[in-house]
Structure formats: C-alpha cells, structure tokens
Amino acid sequence: MVLQTKFATIKGNDLYIDGVKATDLASQYGTPLYVMSEGHIRQQMNELKTKFLDKYENALPLFASKSFSCLAIYKLASEYGIGIDCVSAGEISIALKAGFDPDKIYFHGNNKLPSEIEYALSHDVTHFVIDNFYEIELCEKIAGELGKKVKATVRVVPGIKAGGHNFIMTGHKDTKFGFSSHYGIYLKAIAKILNSENIEYEGLHAHIGSQVFDLYAYISAMNKFMGFVDEIYENFGVVTSKVNAGGGYGIAYNKNDEPLDFEVITSEIMKVIYGHYDEKGWAHPAVMIEPGRYVVGNAGITLYTVGAIKEIPDVRTYVSVDGGMADNIRTALYDADYDGIVANKAGETKTKNVRVAGKCCESGDIVVKDVNVTANIMPGDIFAVFTTGAYNYTMSSNYNQLPKPAVVFTYEGKTKCVIRRQTFDDLVAYDVTEDYK
C-alpha cells in the first residue's frame, strides 16, 4: 500500500487527511464519503501556475474540469489564475456561477449542441475547441445571430495511440474526436474557418489520451503538430498563434504506476514547439495544456463503511462496502486498479488478501480488485480507497437508487462540506405525477 499524496499520513492506527482523522470525517459526514485534500489540489494548481503559467510567456494551463466539477473547484482554479476546459454548457454554467472569468474558459466537445453554443456565446465564452464541420457551420450561424466571434482552436487527431485504456485513447485514427490529419481533412476545416465571417482561427489542439505514461507519445504528437503548423502556413500563409498540447498526464493509482514528472512533460513539449517556431523565425505561440486527473486525482480518498465479509474457500474473500460502482465506476469501466487501507487499523500488518466489492446488484461492482488488509478487518471498519479525486464524483450515478455521497474538502486540519449528501427526497426530486393528455 502506498499513500499517493503527502497530505495523507498514518499515525499509529489511523489514517489522516490534511491532518484530519479519517474516522472523524466518517462519523461527522457519514459514508460513503468523497474526501478531497485541498492541500493536494492547491499543491497541484500551484505547480500549474509556477511551472507553466509563470514560466512561459503567454502560456495558459487549463484544468480539465470534467475530472472534478463543482463550485468549489472552479473558485480554487480562479484563485491560481489558471483556465478551465469545459465540455458542456452544464460545466460552463457551474463555472460561471462560481464567478469564473469566461475568457479563461475553453469549450470542448465532439457534439456541441446548438443550445450549448448559444449559451456559451451569450455568456461571453468565446474560446472554442472546434471538433467537426457541422460545428463550424453552427458556430458561424449562431455567432452571426448573436453578433459574437468564436475564437477557434482546431482539434486535430495526430494518429498516435496513447492512454491507460482503449476507452480513454483519443489520439489514434479511429476516434470520434477532432479532425483527421489524413487526406488533408483538417486543412479543409481550417480553410472553412479562414473563409468564415464569425470564426477566427487561432490555433491547433491536441489531446492524445488520458492516463498517459509515455513521454515519447507527447513528443511525437507535438512533432506531428509542428508539421501541421507548417502545412497551414504553406497552404494559407497563416502562422498558427496558439497550440494546445492537451492533458492526459498519468498519475499513480497503485505501486506499479510510474507517472512522468510535470516539468519533464511540459519542458519537452515546449522544446518541440519553441524550437520549431525559432527555426522558422516566428514569434512563439501561446501554449496551453489541459490536465485534469493530474490536478485532482490523488487528492481524493473515498471512505466507506465495511459491511458483510464473505470468505469463499479456495477462491477469495469479499469485503462489501456501503458504496460501489455508483460512486466509482472506473473499476468496472476501465478495469482500474485501486489501492486502499482500513483507515482505523492502518498501522496493523496487512496479511489478508481481499476483494473490496460494492453493494450494487452487479457482479462487476468491484471497487478494489485485490488488496492486502489487516486480518482483523470487520464490519464497521472504515475502508479508505485512494486516488478517487478524478472522474469519480463526476461519473457517479444513482444506480440502485443509492444517494450520491457528500464531497468534503480538508485543509490544514479543518474540513468543509462542498457538496452535500443526497437524500431520499433528492431521489424523487425530478419525478412528476402527470395524467395522460
């Protein structure tokens, strides 16, 4: 077992997060509970600021807020002066409610709805990562009607396979995202934008995948993009003034994961981009990155209460907890490999191998596939699962009508609830009784 953040510590038999005892959190807020270390989030956002925003001229790191989206996180991002990547009008609406600067919001998505485009533009969110030809038509029309200009970065697929699972690879040929770089397809998109009245071409966008550990994939994607920049110049005489190098920075979920260093990834990306522009004698472009998981993933620890423990002779022991795939779909969806600990027996030797299962009515409802715990584990213990800060709360559901857990931030020995636990009333909040008419 490895604690994936310095903000989680073990003293005696107890797990502490930002100096707060996990069992105190569980008794105060109930379980299952998403705990997010604000100390960790601040550390990561500060890294984005000091090692990217402040380090390079005209650079902007974006936090990919699909990984964790709520008022509190947008307020924190705002404090560090970083931008955000939003993938729906819903995410944009939360960011705006948090007071986020619309000029630092980049609107992504492979099927932005007309209503979403209208919503974004009428709220002064004008930076769009353009994904497809239909979107170009929609933007041209809707921006014209609203008297707005869309500032476009064009998402191009470099043809590179990278990422932690097939479902989260986006840089290879067979993907629903972006314009293909084959047969000059992306050049046709840029021609259309250059000929449009209400869309301004600013640059290119790359996102090769998520949970990436391969530095070479980033370097080769950027090299390919410099080829695209040249082709754009040759075809249209336009120097691309913005390059968004995407996110996807892999983090450690277990002891086998070996994440790349943030500065290694970013300096290699910058070397390729600046090197190319210097060679051409062009002014450096604005460069953006957009990690999500890297910012919040290791900040998250989910606390569960242990319930039934079932020993199946010659097979394994199942430890069931009071949450499951409704609060963490990633094990079922991506075969993700989590690590965890009995938070109230953290100092005890871990001699018993178990599988931690959820309480949903699915055999695939596994939280931790395989973990060594104290042999003394019993109902009522608090089981903590690490690295649940990214794509857990945002991908949660009410499957089996489980109310969604609360999200609590911890910081310097203190706690605050940022999303309250759902109640049974919330489960019927959208049900209406109507007669047929």
If binding is defined by CB under 6 A, does position 108 make contact with ligand LYS?
Answer: no
Side chain identity at residue 300, one-letter code: G
* DSSP code of residue 274: H
Neighbours of 351 (CB within 10 A): 10
CA 17 → CA 67, 84, 162, 281, 409, distances in Å?
Answer: 21, 26, 33, 50, 10
Q: Which is nearer to ligand PLP, 85 or 322 (CB)?
A: 85
86, 139, 360, 361: the active-site residue = 361
Choose the contact partner of 246 out of ligand PLP, ligand LYS, none; CB within 5 to 8 A by kind: ligand PLP
Asked whether the beta carbons of 371 and 354 are under 8 A apart, the reply is yes
Token pair belonging to 120: 């974004």
Choose the contact partner of 330 out of ligand PLP, ligand LYS, none; CB within 5 to 8 A by kind: ligand LYS
User: Is 293 annotated as contributing to ligand binding?
Assistant: yes
User: Is 74 annotated as contributing to ligand binding?
Assistant: no
Quote the CA–CA distance of 252 and 265 in Å, as a whole number.
Answer: 16
What is the DSSP pairing of strand 414-419 with strand 406-411? Answer: antiparallel
Q: Which is nearer to ligand LYS, 25 or 36 (CB)?
A: 36
Choose the contact partner of 249 out of ligand LYS, ligand PLP, none; CB within 5 to 8 A by kind: ligand PLP
Site string for ligand LYS, 315-334 (x = CB under 6 A): ---------------x---x
Q: Which is nearer to ligand LYS, 101 or 257 (CB)?
A: 257
If binding is defined by CB under 6 A, does position 66 make contact with ligand LYS?
Answer: yes
Strand partners, 286: 242
* DSSP code of residue 115: H
If binding is defined by CB under 6 A, does position 248 make contact with ligand PLP?
Answer: yes
Q: Which is nearer to ligand LYS, 66 or 355 (CB)?
A: 66
Residue among 40, 104, 224, 293 that touches ligand PLP (CB under 6 A): 293
Q: Which residue is nearest to ligand LYS (CB)?
A: 391
Strand partners, 10: 15
Give me the least distance between CB of 246 and ligand PLP, in Å please. 5
* DSSP code of residue 399: G
CA 187 to chain centre: 29
Residue 139 appears among annotated catalytic residues: no
Q: Which is nearer to ligand PLP, 65 or 220 (CB)?
A: 65
Site string for ligand PLP, 249-278 (x = CB under 6 A): x-----------------------------
User: Is 393 annotated as contributing to ligand binding?
Assistant: no
Neighbours of 308 (CB within 10 A): 11
If binding is defined by CB under 6 A, does position 246 make contact with ligand PLP?
Answer: yes
If binding is defined by CB under 6 A, does position 175 make contact with ligand LYS?
Answer: no
Side chain identity at residue 311, one-letter code: E
Question: What is the CA angle 146-61-71, rounded to 5?
Answer: 65
Residue 264: enclosing H or E segment and its boundaries? helix 262-280
Question: Which residues make Cβ contacts (< 8 Å) with residue 166, sequence separation at least 6?
Answer: none
Sign, CA dihedral 389-153-334-70, equals positive
Give me the least distance between CB of 99 and ligand LYS, in Å please. 25
Would you mind telling me the total number of residues written for the chain in this entry?
Answer: 437
User: Is 274 annotated as contributing to ligand binding?
Assistant: no
CA 352 to chain centre: 33
Choose the contact partner of 224 out of ligand PLP, ligand LYS, none; CB within 5 to 8 A by kind: none
If binding is defined by CB under 6 A, does position 391 make contact with ligand LYS?
Answer: yes
Residue among 31, 210, 220, 328 that touches ligand PLP (CB under 6 A): 210
Give me the least distance between CB of 202 and ligand LYS, in Å please. 22
Give me the least distance between CB of 334 and ligand LYS, in Å please. 6
If binding is defined by CB under 6 A, does position 168 make contact with ligand LYS?
Answer: yes
DSSP string, 12-51: TTEEEETTEEHHHHHHHH-SSEEEEEHHHHHHHHHHHIII
If binding is defined by CB under 6 A, does position 210 make contact with ligand LYS?
Answer: yes
**SS3 assignment for 116-168:** HHHHHHHCCCCEEEECCHHHHHHHHHHHHHHCCCEEEEEEEECCCCCCCCHHH
Token pair belonging to 57: 């001229």
- Give binding residues for pyridoxal 5'-phosphate as ranges: 248, 290-293, 391
Q: For binding to ligand PLP (CB under 6 A), which residues are involved? A: 64, 67, 85, 108, 168, 170, 207, 210-211, 246-249, 290-294, 390
- What residues make contact with ligand LYS under the rule CB under 6 A? 66, 168, 210-211, 330, 334, 391, 395
List the binding residues for substrate. 293, 330, 334, 362, 391
Which residue positions form the known binding site? 248, 290-293, 330, 334, 362, 391
Catalytic residues: 361
